[in-house]
A = this chain, B = another copy of it.
Amino acid sequence: MQIAVLLYDRLTALDAVGPYEMLARLPGAETVFVSRESGPVRNDQGDLALVADRTLADVPHPDIVLVPGGPGSREAMHDPEILAWLRTADATSTWTTSVCTGSLMLAAAGLLAGRRATSHWLALDELTPFGVEPTGERVVFDGKYVTAAGVSSGIDMALHLLGRIAGDATAQTIQLLTEYDPQPPYDAGSPEKAPAEIVAHWRAKAERVLARQD
């Protein structure tokens, strides 16, 4: 079982590392971080680089494809080399997955047409032009395509996926060992739950926020 995590400039680190930390503990799995070129890939904040050990060409047929989101997805979704790799990898993958605006990249590659998918709550509308039905659910399974909502939701997605792949006991074991017993001090993690004025503020500047241009 080979798991490929795609890295690209200005990705959001937790989108990749959250589900990675869960999936990498799958017994027998090999996880590889891949990018156009091997070496450090810098995140959206600019202060953290994750290292891609392999190039896209090195890993043509992973069993699981994981595409994180981030401001850089707006460029990456127009990158012919990345789109070609997504299509090739998807042709033989068992699961093709994304977190946050990673679903826009899958959509741009033509992989989600006619399917239900999710994304960051501020980006959901952007799935529609690709023939994708957006849904605000946190984790969406549609066939072998699994999309997760914003940033931290990839952790939940990974646990769902582990359950499907290896059964409840393995997923529960990994949840226990990573002590994923969330107790956030606020209940503000979705637009339905956060204070209305905060949601309105960010909706008004959604476009700039997601491209991190301000």
Q: Which residues of A contact B (CB under 8 A)?
A: 12-14, 17-18, 20-21, 24-25, 30-33, 40, 45, 47-51, 53, 100, 120-121, 138-139, 149-153, 155-156, 159-160, 163, 168-169, 171-173, 175-191, 193-195, 198-199, 202, 209
Contact = CB atoms under 8 A, between A and B. Distances in A.
Most chain B beta carbons < 10 A, residue from A50, A171, A191, A209: A50
A151 B175 contact: no
B150 A178 contact: yes
Given A50-B50, A152-B155, A193-B181, A202 B176 contact: yes
Given A12-B21, A17-B13, A40-B51, A189 B184 contact: no
Given A51-B48, A139-B183, A209 B13 contact: no
A50 B42 CA distance: 10
Given A173-B188, A177-B202, 13 more contacts: A17-B18, A21-B152, A24-B47, A31-B48, A49-B53, A50-B50, A149-B179, A152-B178, A153-B179, A171-B188, A173-B194, A175-B189, A176-B189
